[in-house]
Structure 1
Amino acid sequence: MALPGLLLVAAAAAALSRPAAPCPFQCYCFGSPRLRLRCASGAELRQPPRDVPPDARNLTIVGANLTVLRAAAFAGGDAGRLPLLSALRLTHNHIEVVEDGAFDGLPSLAALDLSHNPLRALGGGAFRGLPGLRSLQLNHALARGGPALLGALDAALAPLAELHRLGLAGNALRRLPPAALRLPRLRQLDARLNALPGLGPDELRALDRGGGGDGDGGAPGPRLLLADNPLRCGCAARALLAWLRNATERAPDARRLRCAAPRALLDRPLLGLDAASLRCADGEGADAAAAAAGGAPGPELEASYVFFGLVLALIGLIFLMVLYLNRRGIQRWLRNLREACRDQMEGYHYRYEQDADPRRAPAPPAARAASPASGL
């Protein structure tokens, strides 16, 4: 009687230790206590695998050609969902479109990484099926979408009340998404390598009001990473400088923040300046808040001046080259001009000498009238 019982226990343990379904084609399954899947890279994988075991915990797809993520694209198993999947990594997959409900069927997903994909369109309800999402990485994924994509991102972030970490690095953002500043439990916002000229007072107040770990009134706001942004160190940056000095623990990379404009403060550390040195440029004082929020001309205007100077230098170089190549003709023309001027001046000089000779001067009218009588 003991032997059949032992066999039954061994069979049950084996059933619990292996996946409920075979590993999908083009994927590698790691039979650890938390089942992990890594799907093979390559352009031949054009859609997410549909036969993912329902007890999968981590799924990684890198280097595929997914292009479009449709509704419930990752739901699998017998029940049409992956109830235990907690981490999904989809980097470098050429994803351009994420439709509404693309991640439906993943109720336990806590970490989603869509970095390094050329997103052009994002559904406002793309993350609606992820109530417990705590980490969302969109680094180097939004630069090609333009303002329309940023508006859709704002709508997509709104329902993520449990989000703790948000990565938006390398997306050429000129302003932070307002919905990101209102997330109640946000603890870290990565905004490095963007085109932010600064943060306005409204954005700084939203950061202090928005995130905060546990959501209570006394909790601090999220940590903000701002390094490698072209900050404009005018009078509009005074609010950001005061915020950085009053909450240094909220900006871990504050000592790496450097000025990109004006030219007098180029590459100067922002924390090394005082409020008096942050002077207003012409017309900046009235629009200081708009300038800090991204409304004022940024480094692109300075780049246009540099380009204009290069064009003028090229035109001057071409002009000098034309002069050099035609130097003999120019010398001949100058020689002819000099000869013509010399001949003209000699003519004037000869006429002056003739007019100055008294023997050739004409007689007065009285003398001419008396000359016949004297001859008689």
Structure 2
Amino acid sequence: MRILYNIYHSKGIFLVWHQWCLYYAAGVCLLLSPVRSDDACPSSCICARDAGTVTCLPDGEETELPGDMPEWTSTLILKGRNISTLPRGALTINGTKLVMMTLSLSYNGIQVIEPYAFLGLPRLHLLDLSHNQLEFISARAFHGLPELRSLYLNYSILPPAIAHLSGALSAENLRNLHRLELAGNGLKSIPLERLDMYSLHALVLTDNSIENIERENITNLYQERRLRVYLSLNPFRCNCELEAFYYWLKNSSQCPDAGRLLCSQPEGKSGIPVEKLRSEDVDCMSENLEAVSYVFLGIVLALIGVVFLMVLYLNRRGIKRWLNNIREACRDQMEVYHYRYEQDSDPRLANVAV
């Protein structure tokens, strides 16, 4: 019995020792094994996992987006790369939906945004595409962003892309958008077919080429009371066509920078704040009445001229006789002056008179 007990006890010690050896080997393997690809920080990028931030700066002539973004990335800042095109699912990792909430792609020379370029980012709240060179924006460029709150497109849109902008910014694509910035793009009008976007609170259109806001858009602005529109640094043409916009500006608080809106034309009103204009300056009725009054005056003067010519024509014989009489009277008077002059010039006649 003693021998059997010793054998059993020795076997138990061996099993425990063998189990600890397995645990130790597994730990060593984990420590020595490479970091998983979904946690790896891309080259030329700085990662801060605690903050969920990945910042990628230019490293040579980079022309592509960094691959294998960590799945924990909530903020991606990418600048200074020569990325000409954003293809479908440009930031998707093997079809995985990222938790990314902020994406900054400014200063990357982006020219084309293809359909579904941001697919796989359903939780994205802020997208910054400022300071690029966009020539084409697909109508479905922003599909797949149901949670997008802020979209920045400042100083990015070239003239060829302006025609595509209204389709890309439709309410169907951006139902939850709160802030839209389109400063410095040479826009001549509000590039939205419909302003009744469900959640839009701020629309930044500063430093563009807007001369007037159409009456239809003014009507929509009155309906969207929560919307704030920023319009400074635009060359407003202060004539009677500005009437609807002028009264909206005076009667509404929807333009926070209203005091900085200046007239650029006509020359007599250049530099004058739009708010300081008089109602007569933009009163189309007064301008129309003034134009009508000038036309009426011209018609009256023309009628007077016609009547005068008709009177002359009808009395042409009497006028001719009157002119002849005046001519004869003038001739007689001149003969008398001539006779007196001859007498005064003869000295003999002067001695006789003495």
Place the TM-score, normalised by the shorter chain, in its bin: 0.5 to 0.7
Q: Does 2:205 match 1:197? A: no
1:259 alignment counterpart: 263
CA contact (8 A) 1:81 1:106 kept: no
Of 105, 125, 128, which residue of structure 1 is paired with 2:143?
Answer: 128
Residue in structure 2 matched with residue 246 of structure 1 by the alignment: 251
> Is this contact kept in 1: 2:140–2:168, CA < 8 A?
no
Deviation per residue, 1:161-218 (Å, 9 max, x gap): 00000000000001112246231110000000100001122101122334xxxxxxxx
Count, aligned residues: 255
Give 1:53's aligned amino acid. Answer: P
Q: Given that residues 166 and 193 in structure 2 are in contact (C-alpha distance below 8 angstroms), is that contact kept between their aligned partners in structure 1?
A: no
Offset of residue 257 of structure 1 = 0.3
- Deviation at residue 122 of structure 1 after TM alignment: 0.7
Answering whether residue 65 of structure 2 is matched by residue 29 of structure 1, we say no
Task: Measure, in 2, the Cα distance between the counterparts of 1:177 and 1:271.
Answer: 24
The partner residue of 1:271 within 254, 258, 275 is: 275
CA distance in 1, matches of 2:69, 2:62: 14
- SS of the residue corresponding to residue 151 of structure 2 reads strand
Does 2:93 align with 1:88?
A: no
Assess if the C-alpha contact under 8 Å between 2:232 and 2:258 holds in 1: yes
For the 8 Å contact 2:37–2:68, the answer to whether it is kept is no
Counterparts in 2 of 1:99-114, with a 5 A limit?
A: 99-114=114-129
SS in 1 for 2:245: helix
Partner AA of 1:238 in structure 2? E
AA in 2 matched with 1:254: A
In structure 2, the residue corresponding to 1:240 is in which secondary structure? helix
Aligned residue for 1:181, secondary structure, equals: coil
Equivalent-residue separation in structure 1 for 2:280 and 2:37 (angstroms): 66
What are the within-5 Å matches in structure 2 for residues 289-368 of structure 1?
Answer: none
Aligned-partner residue type, residue 168 of structure 1: L
**Aligned match of 2:64 in 28, 32, 47?**
47
**Stretches of structure 1 lacking an aligned partner (at least 5 in a row):** 1-17, 211-219, 286-376
Segments of structure 2 that go 5 or more residues without pairing to the other structure are 1-35, 289-354
Larger Rg: 1 or 2? 2
Between the aligned residues of both structures, percent identity stands at 34
1:40 deviates by: 1.6
Q: For 1:200 and 1:221, how far apart are their aligned partners in 2?
A: 19
Q: C-alpha distance in 2, partners of 1:23/1:66?
A: 20
**What is the TM-score of this pair, normalised by structure 2?**
0.67
Query: Deviation of residue 159 (structure 1)?
Result: 1.8
* Cα distance, 1:153–1:146 mapped onto 2, change above 3 Å: same
Tell me which of 220, 227, 240 is aligned to 1:222: 227
1:231-242 to structure 2, matched below 5 A, reads 231-242=236-247
1:21 maps to a residue whose letter is: D
User: Could you tell me whether the CA contact under 8 Å between 1:37 and 1:60 is conserved in 2?
Assistant: yes
TM-score relative to the length of structure 1: 0.63
Shift of 1:45: 2.1
- Write the letter of the residue equivalent to 2:83: L
> Per-residue deviation at 1:109?
0.2
User: How far 1:146 sits from its partner (Å)?
Assistant: 4.9
Does structure 2 conserve the Cα–Cα contact (< 8 Å) formed by 1:56 and 1:82? no
CA distance in 2, matches of 1:42, 1:49: 11
Question: 1:131·1:160 contact (CA, 8 Å) conserved in 2?
Answer: yes
Q: Is structure 2 residue 196 aligned with structure 1 residue 175? A: no
1:41 shift after superposition: 1.7
* Structure 1 position 279, deviation (Å): 5.4
Instruction: After superposition, give the CA deviation of every residue in 1:251-299 in whole Å (9 maximum; x if it has no partner).
Output: 1110000001111101101111121122559xx96xxxxxxxxxxxxxx
1:73 equivalenced with 2:85 (yes/no): no
Instruction: List structure 1 runs of 4+ shifted beyond 6 angstroms.
Output: none
- Structure 1 residue 57 and structure 2 residue 74: aligned? yes
1: distance between equivalents of 2:66 and 2:86? 12
* Equivalent position of 1:8 in the other structure: none
| d(CA) in 2 for partners of 1:230, 1:275 | 19
Cα deviation, 1:18-47, whole Å, max 9, x if unaligned, reads 995111111110132x31001122553211
Counterpart secondary structure, 1:202: helix
**2:223: which partner in 1?**
209
Q: Determine the C-alpha separation between the residues in 1 that align with 2:58 and 2:284.
A: 52
CA contact (8 A) 1:43 1:65 kept: no
- In the alignment, what sits opposite 2:32? none
Find the counterpart in structure 1 of residue 3 from structure 2. Answer: none
After superposition, what is the alpha-carbon deviation per residue over 1:292-311, rounded to whole angstroms, capped at 9, x for unaligned? Answer: xxxxxxxxxxxxxxxxxxxx
| Per-residue deviation, 1:233 | 0.6
Note the C-alpha offset of 1:150: 3.2
Deviations 1:309-358 (A, max 9, x none): xxxxxxxxxxxxxxxxxxxxxxxxxxxxxxxxxxxxxxxxxxxxxxxxxx
CA contact 2:221–2:227 (8 Å) conserved in 1? yes
